[in-house]
């Protein structure tokens, strides 16, 4: 009787084929009764070692049977890759055979947003296409383990779940007893979803009353220039709206490598006549498809944008009505203090949040629409002047005032003519003019600038200058136009499951309507138990010893960044828990890999890890952080649990990642892990008679009843993952009237709404299921004030720190020599072959590249140093060195070298990665607080970790 096949049999069989084992030999190995081989086929001799190792495969008659058997399955489930930060979401069918997912196939479930538009089909990327390889890879963690040697030594002992949970619970209760909940940190990475398994750690830490890190800036992804200018760092829309643009600018954005499921909209737009412009130093995977490639010098993006803005104003190509209504350009600024004219300047007890324009009809200062008590941008009978310079009586004396527009224009004409911008950027003045005119004259021009740009020290200045271009031309709020990064929508049910203790509250609907739907209250609600991850590691990881040193960053600022940091913390502009000086006792890492992604990462293992009594990694795979953990808790893979993919703006669909098979080994879904852990903590706390305590939000908590709080008094037990998922669906407007059964049928369902407007959504438009998503229409069409201090797109920031650092307006500042005075700039980018580190060690992906870390070098730079392709080289600067192979690549500019994202340190020779020599300086201006929209908030405002300005030398090792 033929035995049934397992995936292992199949892989071994096909692996043998790859070793040139002929079909005739396979037949012999299977004991086939087929006719003997002809003289043209190899003669069967004694079995080879490979043949001996082969399993007994089923008898078959011809090669077609082998092929047909290969394409059979027992069941098909709907799946996606829920807890990977790919900023995509794609519907897949998962084919299950003998209890294993053996292949996946894209599911073309999407419809066009409107007739005549391209649809989203098919979605996927090559990582997702080999998701089942990752699932069954050798780096998978199958059992709870505790370390048997020193941290990072790599010696492990398998333990039971009870032992693991008791150890972690004991560590947590120790910390509660000795230092309180602030000493227990959830190190929350970016690989989160939007269902119960992602809500689980949020809920656990919320009920414990302990902090979790906000990782947005910690991984270098916070678009601070958009926070400064637009009041939200996530301006977003759907990718089918790209197709409606006539002038598409990929600014430090390489979608063919990093936005694979969406890139087709750009290239389809070219077929209808759109111009595609790529602005990047390297001829990358997307630039090769562009009509215009502007290869500026690295880090000079702000100068290019300001040069183009100068052309637009000088040639009168700007949209004066738009910027008068929507921006702060007509606001009046005092030339004695360089601060806005405020009501508090003119009236005793007046507001410091009410601003003024110059009414050119009445020839007098007039309150600016959208600020102070005004709730509309409609100026009515007032005609604000864009250009004005004159005198006003302020505090009893004459003071010269000017509009922001006048100041900006003067600065552009003085410092950023195309000729001057050409000297900085290396881009010819003629090309800058061509770009500016093309952008300004296009019916709809769109700058796509995503998270790569954020990783420069002066990214905020570049982003402010890019947004200025989009605004001067009236593109923000227009279909196919504007400046966009990307955003995530928040299903309300997910937020409630994550944060709300008593889920059965009778006024739940009222809560959602009254509180959750208000963006400000939502942000405050979310932010309460988060700590700014980047700043947390500056303080507790000791990173600021290097990154806060003036020599590493912008030397033009008057004080060292470390001093600004101290002052910002003293002012309580950013919460850090535990407070500086106290040590964290427990770190529980989930959905991330902090010891890989933090810049200057070796410092964390040297400074932070020795202070921490217990480190735990909850993960499905072994990574750098897991290697240094004390306890590993094995999480189920994405095909082994039911969850939702996060709701990303590019594709307005809710995606189900369903449980196709049971978890491998003893892995468990996160919902179950944290439910069991809450019970273990409760038991331990009861054993020690731990008294109730005040949590970091000053609420009273009782760890003896943590399990009751987590499960909502038993409503959602450890194995109630599906029930919790149904809760998320039923309490979210995004999935109104969509059940789990519906999602299981379709795989992905179009949003019914964009959910709560707060959180990380930077959408600010009404949503329709029948058109692409275009952000900012509430401001341009409904005349609502922007969420900034002035109620307008704000290009002028008059906070004293911005003024003293010379950054009140968008300006160009040269990149720092971070890491020392070395001739090459170390840059990078997200890789095409992995999502962060999750696929970095996967053979199907390694086969598409060199198979190990490489540094890309221009051929001239390599020749000057006597380096040949594939040589092992030493990359070094003042912070240290790392070793890897060189790849000679002419598409990289001379003077620049690239190490693409997310190799694990253990994949490098010597175990030190590129991140070990990246000092990641930070900006004083990003530490400002208490200034309208510039204040700490989850995923809203703090200094980024940055890497693109690092200087190095490379030599043959
Ligand atoms: Fe899509 Fe992300 Fe999966 Fe790739 S990894 S197929 S982008 S969901």
Mean pLDDT by 10 residues, the chain (957 residues): 39 35 30 35 50 56 77 94 96 96 94 96 96 96 97 96 98 97 97 96 96 96 97 96 98 96 97 97 96 98 98 98 98 98 96 98 97 96 97 94 98 98 98 98 97 96 98 98 93 88 63 53 74 97 95 96 97 95 96 96 95 98 98 98 96 97 98 98 98 94 98 96 95 92 97 75 91 97 97 98 98 98 96 96 95 97 98 98 98 96 96 97 97 94 96 97
CB within 8 Å of 446: residues ≥ 6 apart: 242, 245, 247, 248, 249, 470, 475, 480, 481, 482, 483, 484
Torsion of CA 773, 777, 778, 780, to 10 degrees: 170
3-state DSSP assignment of residue 862? helix
Protein residue with least CA distance to atom 7, ligand 1: 88
- Check residue 154 and give its pLDDT: 92
- Full strand arrangement of the beta sheet holding 100-106: 75-79, 92-97, 100-106
The tokens for 506 are 């009778």
The answer to whether 727 touches 709, Cβ cutoff 8 Å, is no
CB within 8 Å of 745: residues ≥ 6 apart: none
Q: 79, 83, 84: which to mutate for ligand 1, most atoms within 8 A of CB? A: 84
Kindly list the protein residues whose Cβ atom lies closer than 6 A to any atom of ligand 1.
Answer: 80-81, 84, 86, 88-90, 123-125, 127-128, 261, 835
DSSP 493-526: HHHHHHH-S-TT-TTHHHHIIIIITSHHHHHHHH
Tell me the CA–centroid distance for residue 131 and ligand 1, in Å. Answer: 9
Burial class (CB in 10 A: 0-12, 13-18, 19+), 313: middle
Tell me the CA–centroid distance for residue 633 and ligand 1, in Å. Answer: 25
Q: 78, 81, 830: which to mutate for ligand 1, most atoms within 8 A of CB? A: 81
CA–CA distance, 226 with 234 (Å, rounded to integer): 7
Counting from 1 in the atom list of ligand 1, the atom nearest the Cα of 123 is 1
Burial class (CB in 10 A: 0-12, 13-18, 19+), 208: buried
Long-range CB contacts (within 8 A, 24+) of 705-711: 706/207, 706/208, 706/678, 706/679, 706/681, 706/682, 707/675, 707/678, 707/679, 707/681, 707/682, 708/682, 709/207, 709/501, 709/678, 710/203, 710/204, 710/207, 710/674, 710/675, 710/678, 711/675, 711/678
Q: 82, 87, 88: which to mutate for ligand 1, most atoms within 8 A of CB? A: 88
For residue 640, give the DSSP letter: G
Protein residue with least CA distance to atom 8, ligand 1: 89
- Check residue 68 and give its pLDDT: 79
3-state DSSP assignment of residue 624? helix
Counting from 1 in the atom list of ligand 1, the atom nearest the Cα of 124 is 6
Q: Which of 411, 389, 267, 263 is nearest to 334 (CA)?
A: 389
CA–CA distance, 735 with 733 (Å, rounded to integer): 5
CA–CA distance, 517 with 501 (Å, rounded to integer): 19
- Check residue 820 and give its pLDDT: 97
- Check residue 27 and give its pLDDT: 29
Helices assigned H by DSSP within 186-292: 196-208, 224-230, 255-258, 263-271
The tokens for 330 are 């007509």
> For 769-792, how does the pLDDT look when each residue is reduced to its tens digit (9 = 90+)?
999 999 999 999 999 999 999 999
- Check residue 508 and give its pLDDT: 53
Tell me the CA–centroid distance for residue 711 and ligand 1, in Å. Answer: 31
The answer to whether 72 touches 58, Cβ cutoff 8 Å, is no
- Check residue 38 and give its pLDDT: 34
Tell me the CA–centroid distance for residue 259 and ligand 1, in Å. Answer: 9
Tell me the CA–centroid distance for residue 847 and ligand 1, in Å. Answer: 19
Distances in whole angstroms, Cα of residue 709 to Cα of each of 88, 184, 499: 33, 18, 11
Tell me the CA–centroid distance for residue 127 and ligand 1, in Å. Answer: 7
Q: 80, 106, 109: which to mutate for ligand 1, most atoms within 8 A of CB? A: 80
- Check residue 502 and give its pLDDT: 83
Tell me the CA–centroid distance for residue 750 and ligand 1, in Å. Answer: 17
Long-range CB contacts (within 8 A, 24+) of 270-277: 272/243, 273/246, 274/243, 274/245, 274/246, 274/247, 274/248, 275/246, 275/247, 275/248, 275/438, 275/442, 276/248, 276/250, 277/247, 277/248, 277/249, 277/250, 277/435, 277/438
CA–CA distance, 746 with 543 (Å, rounded to integer): 47
Counting from 1 in the atom list of ligand 1, the atom nearest the Cα of 261 is 7
The tokens for 77 are 């489930």
The answer to whether 395 touches 336, Cβ cutoff 8 Å, is no
CA–CA distance, 360 with 371 (Å, rounded to integer): 19
Tell me the CA–centroid distance for residue 582 and ligand 1, in Å. Answer: 41
Q: Which residues pair with 355 in a beta bridge?
A: 342
CA 163 and chain centroid, separation = 35
Protein residue with least CA distance to atom 5, ligand 1: 128
3-state DSSP assignment of residue 358? strand
The answer to whether 325 touches 386, Cβ cutoff 8 Å, is no
CA 664 and chain centroid, separation = 29
The answer to whether 376 touches 784, Cβ cutoff 8 Å, is yes
- Full strand arrangement of the beta sheet holding 586-590: 156-158, 145-147, 631-634, 614-619, 586-590, 184-188, 212-214, 530-532
647-648 vs 643-644, strand pairing mode: unpaired
Tell me the CA–centroid distance for residue 323 and ligand 1, in Å. Answer: 39
* Phi, psi dihedral angles at 284 (to 5 degrees): -85, -175
Quote the pTM value: 0.92
Backbone conformation region of residue 759, classed left if phi is above 0, alpha if psi is from -120 to 50, else beta: left
Counting from 1 in the atom list of ligand 1, the atom nearest the Cα of 129 is 6
- Check residue 760 and give its pLDDT: 63
The answer to whether 605 touches 160, Cβ cutoff 8 Å, is no
Tell me the CA–centroid distance for residue 124 and ligand 1, in Å. Answer: 5
The answer to whether 559 touches 568, Cβ cutoff 8 Å, is no
Tell me the CA–centroid distance for residue 562 and ligand 1, in Å. Answer: 39
CA–CA distance, 76 with 759 (Å, rounded to integer): 35
């Amino acid at each position: 009787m033929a035995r049934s096949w397992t995936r292992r049999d199949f892989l071994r069989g096909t692996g043998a084929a790859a070793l040139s084992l002929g079909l005739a030999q396979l037949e012999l190995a299977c004991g086939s009764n087929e006719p003997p081989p002809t003289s043209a086929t190899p003669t069967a001799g004694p079995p080879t070692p490979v043949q001996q190792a082969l399993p007994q495969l089923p008898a078959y008659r011809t090669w077609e049977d082998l092929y047909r058997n290969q394409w059979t399955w027992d069941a098909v489930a709907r799946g996606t890759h829920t807890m990977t930060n790919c900023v995509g979401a794609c519907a897949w069918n998962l084919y299950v055979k003998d209890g294993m997912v053996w292949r996946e196939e894209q599911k073309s479930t999407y419809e066009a947003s409107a007739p005549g538009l391209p649809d989203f089909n098919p979605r996927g990327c090559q990582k997702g296409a080999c998701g089942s390889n990752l699932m069954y890879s050798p780096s998978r963690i199958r059992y709870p383990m505790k370390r048997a040697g020193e941290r990072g030594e790599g010696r492990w002992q398998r333990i039971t779940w009870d032992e693991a949970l008791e150890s972690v619970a004991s560590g947590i209760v120790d910390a509660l007893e000795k230092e309180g909940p602030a000493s227990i940190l959830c190190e929350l990475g970016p690989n989160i979803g939007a269902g119960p398994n992602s809500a689980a750690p949020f809920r656990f830490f919320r009920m414990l009353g302990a902090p979790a890190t906000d990782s947005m800036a910690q991984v270098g992804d916070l678009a601070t220039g958009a926070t400064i200018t637009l009041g939200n760092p996530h301006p977003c829309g759907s990718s089918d709206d790209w197709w409606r643009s006539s002038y598409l600018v990929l600014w430090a954005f390489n979608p063919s490598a990093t936005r694979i499921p969406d890139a087709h909209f750009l290239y389809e737009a070219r077929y209808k006549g759109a111009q595609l412009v790529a602005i990047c130093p390297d001829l990358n995977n997307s630039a090769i498809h562009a009509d215009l490639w502007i290869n500026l010098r690295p880090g000079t993006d702000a100068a290019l944008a300001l040069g183009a803005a100068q052309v637009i104003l000088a040639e009168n190509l700007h949209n004066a009505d738009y910027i008068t209504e929507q921006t702060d350009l007509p606001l009046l600024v005092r030339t004695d203090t360089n601060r806005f004219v405020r009501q508090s300047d003119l009236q005793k007890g007046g507001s410091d949040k009410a601003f003024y324009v110059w009414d050119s009809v009445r020839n007098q200062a007039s309150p600016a629409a959208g600020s102070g008590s005004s709730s509309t941008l409609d100026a009515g009978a007032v005609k604000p002047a864009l250009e004005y310079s004159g005198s006003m009586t302020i505090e009893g004396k004459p003071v010269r005032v000017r509009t922001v527009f006048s100041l900006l224009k003067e600065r552009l004409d003085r410092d950023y003519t195309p000729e001057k911008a050409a000297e900085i950027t290396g881009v010819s003045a003629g090309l800058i003019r061509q770009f500016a005119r093309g952008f300004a004259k296009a019916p709809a021009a769109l700058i796509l600038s995503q998270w790569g740009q954020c990783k420069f020290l002066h990214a905020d200045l570049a982003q402010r200058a890019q947004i200025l271009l989009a605004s001067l031309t009236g593109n923000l709020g227009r279909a196919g136009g504007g400046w966009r990064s990307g955003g995530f929508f928040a299903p309300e049910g997910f937020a409630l499951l994550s944060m709300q203790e008593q889920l059965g509250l009778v006024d739940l609907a009222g809560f959602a309507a009254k509180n959750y739907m208000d963006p400000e209250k939502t942000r405050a609600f979310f932010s309460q138990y988060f700590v700014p991850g980047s700043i947390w590691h500056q303080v507790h990881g000791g990173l600021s010893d290097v990154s806060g040193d003036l020599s590493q960053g912008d030397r033009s600022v008057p004080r060292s960044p470390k001093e600004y940091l101290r002052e910002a913390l003293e002012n309580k502009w950013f919460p850090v828990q535990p407070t500086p000086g106290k040590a964290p006792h427990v770190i529980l890492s989930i959905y991330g890999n902090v010891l890989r992604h933090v810049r200057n990462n070796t410092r964390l293992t040297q400074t932070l890890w020795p202070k921490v009594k217990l480190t735990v990694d909850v993960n499905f795979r072994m990574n750098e952080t897991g290697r240094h953990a004390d306890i590993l808790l094995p999480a189920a893979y994405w095909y082994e649990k039911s969850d939702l993919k996060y709701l990303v703006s590019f594709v307005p669909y809710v995606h189900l990642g369903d449980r196709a098979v049971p978890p491998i080994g003893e892995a468990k879904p996160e919902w179950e892990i944290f439910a069991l852990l809450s019970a273990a903590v409760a038991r331990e706390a009861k054993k020690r008679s731990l008294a109730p305590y005040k949590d970091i939000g000053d609420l009273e908590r009782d760890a003896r009843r943590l399990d009751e709080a987590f499960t909502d008094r038993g409503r959602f037990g450890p194995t109630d993952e599906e029930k919790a998922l149904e809760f998320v669906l039923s309490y979210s407007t995004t999935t109104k009237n969509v059940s789990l059964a519906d999602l299981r049928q379709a795989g992905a369902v179009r949003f019914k709404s964009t959910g709560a407007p707060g959180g990380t959504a930077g959408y600010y438009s009404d949503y329709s299921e029948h058109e692409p998503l275009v952000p900012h229409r509430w401001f341009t069409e409904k005349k609502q004030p922007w969420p900034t201090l002035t109620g307008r797109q704000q290009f002028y920031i008059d906070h004293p720190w911005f003024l003293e650092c010379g950054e009140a307006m968008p300006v160009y500042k040269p990149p720092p020599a971070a890491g020392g005075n070395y001739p090459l700039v170390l840059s990078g980018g997200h890789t095409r072959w992995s999502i962060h580190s999750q696929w970095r060690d996967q053979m199907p992906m390694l086969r598409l590249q060199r198979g190990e870390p490489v540094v890309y070098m221009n051929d001239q730079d390599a020749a000057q140093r006597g380096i040949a392709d594939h040589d092992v080289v030493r990359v070094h600067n003042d912070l240290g060195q790392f070793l890897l192979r060189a790849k000679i690549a002419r598409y990289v500019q001379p003077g620049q070298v690239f190490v693409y994202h997310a190799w694990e340190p253990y994949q490098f020779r010597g175990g030190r990665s590129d991140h070990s020599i990246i000092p990641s300086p930070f900006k004083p201006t990003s530490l400002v607080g208490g200034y309208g929209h510039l204040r700490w908030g989850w995923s809203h405002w703090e200094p980024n970790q940055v890497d693109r300005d690092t200087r190095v030398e490379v030599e043959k090792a």
